[in-house]
Chains A and B, each alone.
Chain A
């Protein structure tokens, strides 16, 4: 196979005149990281609420939360993204739909991908929060109630602080997943890493360099996150609990 390797391609000025091809990669990295981190914040907040609702002694709230989880787990991420991006603006009240469509394209893509990834991952976070709370001995909740705490206080001061520490390992893998899942945003044109890989192929005709570089960046993200989360895991580990289950 006669393939002309040319790693210097990254230092050449890009065809559009905006910086080098390396700067395209960094732009992609920036959007991948920004999108994933902000979606993770949404996922943690909504996932915590849904996870808690699945454990409270109220059938309707439990059913509501279970429905959320089933809906977001049983529809492909790509379909969800297209529904947020193409369908929702049509179904919103006219003013809001128009306002969305008048935003610049990048903002539209980012907002859709952000909400999509956040809500999708929230369903997974909710399952972990629920299993964390359920793994605690029942006596903890009863002791809290017997001390005169209200139910919200028991959650706030007794159950959740323990549950979060126990579920750090499974949350780590969801955290890694959100970065990988963010690549789906390429389908609506957001210029994150995998989009830039495709752009580089189109503009430079050096597909292998482009794909290898982007793959290495994903690996780098993965290694960095695992290192970071290992530190967190060691800090918050509860003595006597192996975690997870």
Chain B
């Protein structure tokens, strides 16, 4: 016999709130993917490039972010971002938590994306760079027009898998009290005394989304490798 009597009635009424939370989750996820891929590509290119100082700086950046727990990174940016914003814009600033989370996730994910992208660039045959140069393209043009398009095609499944992990990790904005999908579920559950139902509901929603997307990724992977 369990001591719990399920009561799911607080969920339907909370759907608008939960949807709003999901929008925050998606906003953080998509921003981090967009900025992360661009900044991650620059880091990867810098790391593989000839400039020793840039290469070293990129290596330090990537290793630093990859050695520290995401929770700490979120807390760090919640400490730094408000002060930086204050210094730039003066006193009046909007929701600092969302801005801090966006910056933290974008810069953190870039470190992870850059490792995937670096491997992707290295997976393109070396002769291609030489061929591009022989055709009279500059190294930058060869990278942009020949190497990167192929590299991205090779690593699309890995980039998407990382996006699924990122989508799950955004729930950690809980530590700065930002109401994403998970934070909202928790608050609703706490408010109505229905934490058990809301947490199970949140888990189920995450599972359905992540499982479905991972199926799509698997499908893509099979198509690409054939």
Contact = CB atoms under 8 A, between A and B. Distances in A.
B195 A76 contact: no
A156 interface: no
Interface string A195-230: 001100100000110010011001100100000000
Interface residues of A, number: 41
Given A86-B195, A87-B196, A93-B2, A80 B72 contact: no
Contacts of B69: 179-184, 194, 218
B207 A197 contact: no
Interface string B66-88: 01111110011001000100010
Interface in A52-103: 70-71, 73-80, 82-83, 86-87, 90-94, 97
B204 to A, nearest CB: 9
Given A1-B83, A86-B196, A211-B75, A79 B206 contact: yes
Contacts of A90: 2-4, 196
Contact of A75 (B64, B70, B174, B206): B206
Given A83-B203, A211-B72, A74 B67 contact: no
Contacts of B202: 79
Given A1-B87, A78-B182, A180 B68 contact: yes
Contacts of B182: 76, 78-79
B75 A79 contact: no
A172 interface: no
A23 interface: no
B217 to A, nearest CB: 12
A82 B210 contact: no
B67 A76 contact: no
Contacts of A76: 168-169, 171-172, 182, 206
A77 B71 contact: no
A135 interface: no
Contacts of A187: 174-175
A14 interface: no
B68 A218 contact: yes
Contacts of A93: 1-3
Given A76-B172, A91-B4, A207-B79, 13 more contacts: A73-B210, A78-B182, A83-B199, A86-B199, A179-B69, A180-B69, A182-B69, A184-B71, A184-B172, A186-B175, A198-B75, A218-B69, A218-B72
21 contacts: A1-B83, A70-B211, A73-B214, A74-B168, A86-B195, A90-B2, A90-B196, A93-B2, A97-B3, A180-B70, A183-B72, A186-B71, A186-B175, A194-B69, A197-B72, A211-B72, A218-B68, A218-B69, A218-B72, A219-B64, A219-B68
Interface of A: 1, 70-71, 73-80, 82-83, 86-87, 90-94, 97, 179-184, 186-187, 194, 197-198, 201, 207-208, 211, 214-215, 218-219, 222
* 10 tightest Cβ-Cβ pairs between the two chains A and B: A183-B69, A76-B168, A74-B210, A183-B71, A180-B69, A222-B67, A76-B171, A90-B4, A78-B171, A94-B3
